[in-house]
Amino acid sequence: MKKRRAQNSDKIMQLLTSLDDLKKTKNLVVTIGSFDGVHRGHLDIFSALKAKAKELNGESMIVTFDPHPQLVLHPDADFFQITPSKEKMALLQKQNVDYLMILPFTYPLAGTSFTDFFQHFLLDRLHVRALVMGPNHSLGKNRGGKTQDIKELCDKNEIDVVVVPELIIDGQSVRSSEIRRLIHEMEIEQASKLLGRRL
């Protein structure tokens, strides 16, 4: 486990690459995703994550995957990452959260059902107090757990849920897939606007 001091803050973020590295947490608030691009929509999610952790007097955690799931599941597809893994991790480490957990994305993990992932990862291992996600979030094998499914399981287990509204800029949804399309079509100015930084 590595500890790194976030920029412009006294907070020390713990960088985790294994669940075994995680010690006891307090009112843990989690967001989970690939976060490719670390774009302006993701930044809204991270802001909501930190706000919820503050509300609960708890701790905040970003959970992401490496390599990107698409590179494992569909290696021959016409897919590219907006930000290579090293750059993405550097951007995530600037978000001033308590924990950044990087889970190796493997075929066994990809084959884990939504309910098993929820039970064994979120409940048994992380003891999550609240979950923060975007409106189109999904979890588990074949993205089987949709937003409503996640909310229902959270309700049953007394886990708070924060659904962050989708960010719209110039009539476009701020999504990684949309930014990839803009880059592919060489609309670099608009892609940079959705990202929140120059490409």
Determine whether domain 12-165 maps to CATH 1.20.1560.10: no
d(CA 46, CA 31): 8
Whether 9 shows a pLDDT value over 80: the answer reads no
Q: Give the start-to-end residue ranges of the domains of the chain.
A: 12-165
| Residue 1 scores a pLDDT above 80 | no
- Give CA–CA dist 87/95, Å, rounded: 13
Give the pLDDT score at 8. Answer: 42
What number is the average pLDDT over the span 97-119?
A: 91
Give the pLDDT band (50/70/90) at residue 4: low
Q: Which residues contact 166 (CB under 8 A, 6 or more apart)?
A: 41, 134, 135, 136, 173, 174, 175
What is the residue type of 80? F
| Vertex 129 angle, CA 49 and 10, to 5° | 45
Q: Bigger pLDDT: 54 or 8?
A: 54
**What pTM, to 2 d.p., does this model score?**
0.90
